[in-house]
Amino acid sequence: TFKMLVPALLVLLFCLRGHAGLSPHFLQQPDDLVALLGDEARLPCALGEYWGLVQWTKDGLALGGERDLPGWSRYWISGNAASGQHDLYIRPVELEDQASYECQATQAGLRSRPAQLHVLVPPEAPQVLGGPFVSLVAGIPANLTCRSRGDARPTPELLWFRDGIRLDGTTFRQTLLKEGTTGSVESILSLTPSSHDDGATLVCRARSQALPSGKDTAITLSLQYPPVVTLSAEPQTVLEGEKVTFLCQATAQPPVTGYRWAKGGSPVLGARGPMLEVVADASFLTEPVSCEVSNAVGSANRSTALDVQFGPILQARPEPMSVDVGEDASFSCAWRGNPLPRVTWTRSGDAQVLGSGTTLRLPSVGPEDAGDYICRAEPGLSGLGGGAAEARLTVNAPPVVTALHSAPAFLRGPARLQCLVFASPAPDAVVWSWDEGFLEAGSQGRFLVETFPVPEGRGGQGPALISVLHISGTQESDFSRGFNCSARNRLGEGGTQVSLGRRDLLPTVRIVAGVASAAMTLLMVIIGVTLCCWRHGKASASFSKQKNLVRIPGSSDGSSSRGPEEEETGSGEDRGPIVHTDHSDLVLDEEGALETKDPTNGYYKVRGVSPPTSPDSCMTALQMKSPGIFNLP
What are the mean pLDDT values of the chain's consecutive 10-residue runs (633 residues total)?
Answer: 48 47 86 91 93 91 89 91 91 92 90 93 89 87 87 85 87 62 79 86 90 91 88 91 94 89 92 92 90 91 90 90 92 89 91 92 91 88 77 90 91 92 87 88 90 69 83 89 91 91 69 77 86 62 39 36 36 36 36 37 37 41 36 34
Question: Residue-wise over 43-61: b if at least 16 C-beta within 10 A, else e?
Answer: bbbbbeebebebbbbbeee
CA 146 to chain centre: 53
Question: Degrees (nearest 5) of the Cα angle 40, 41, 44?
Answer: 140
The pLDDT score that the predictor gives to residue 549 is 37
DSSP at 123: P
The pLDDT score that the predictor gives to residue 633 is 33
The pLDDT score that the predictor gives to residue 610 is 37
Give the residue from 317, 262, 310 showing the smallest Cα distance to 287. 262
Query: Is there a contact between 220 and 171 (Cβ–Cβ < 8 Å)?
Result: no
**Dihedral sign, CA of 184, 189, 195, 198?**
negative
Q: State residue 519 phi and psi, 5-degree precision.
A: -65, -45
Give the residue from 190, 193, 191, 188 showing the smallest Cα distance to 137. 193
Query: Is there a contact between 76 and 67 (Cβ–Cβ < 8 Å)?
Result: yes
Kind and range of the H or E element at 513?
Answer: helix 507-535
Q: State residue 83 phi and psi, 5-degree precision.
A: -90, 5
Burial of 633 from C-beta contacts in 10 A (0-12 / 13-18 / 19+): exposed
**Dihedral sign, CA of 247, 250, 255, 257?**
negative
Q: State residue 117 phi and psi, 5-degree precision.
A: -100, 120
Phi-psi region of 14 (alpha: psi -120 to 50; beta: other; left: phi over 0): alpha
The pLDDT score that the predictor gives to residue 287 is 92
The pLDDT score that the predictor gives to residue 441 is 86
Query: Could you tell me where the DSSP H helices lie in 431-485?
Result: 476-480
Q: How far apart are CA 155 and CA 209, in angstroms?
A: 9
Burial of 174 from C-beta contacts in 10 A (0-12 / 13-18 / 19+): exposed
The pLDDT score that the predictor gives to residue 530 is 81
The pLDDT score that the predictor gives to residue 124 is 86
Please, which residues bridge with residue 595 across strands? 587
DSSP at 126: P
Contacts of 10-16 with C-beta under 8 Å, sequence gap 24+, read 10/52, 10/107, 11/107, 14/52, 14/107, 14/108
Torsion, Cα 530 533 538 542, to 10 degrees, reads 70
The pLDDT score that the predictor gives to residue 149 is 78
Q: Return all residues near 518 (Cβ < 8 A) that are at least 6 apart.
A: 554, 556
Q: Which amino acid is at 2?
A: F
Give the residue from 454, 341, 419, 344 showing the smallest Cα distance to 389. 344
The pLDDT score that the predictor gives to residue 510 is 63
Give the residue from 417, 421, 420 showing the smallest Cα distance to 433. 417
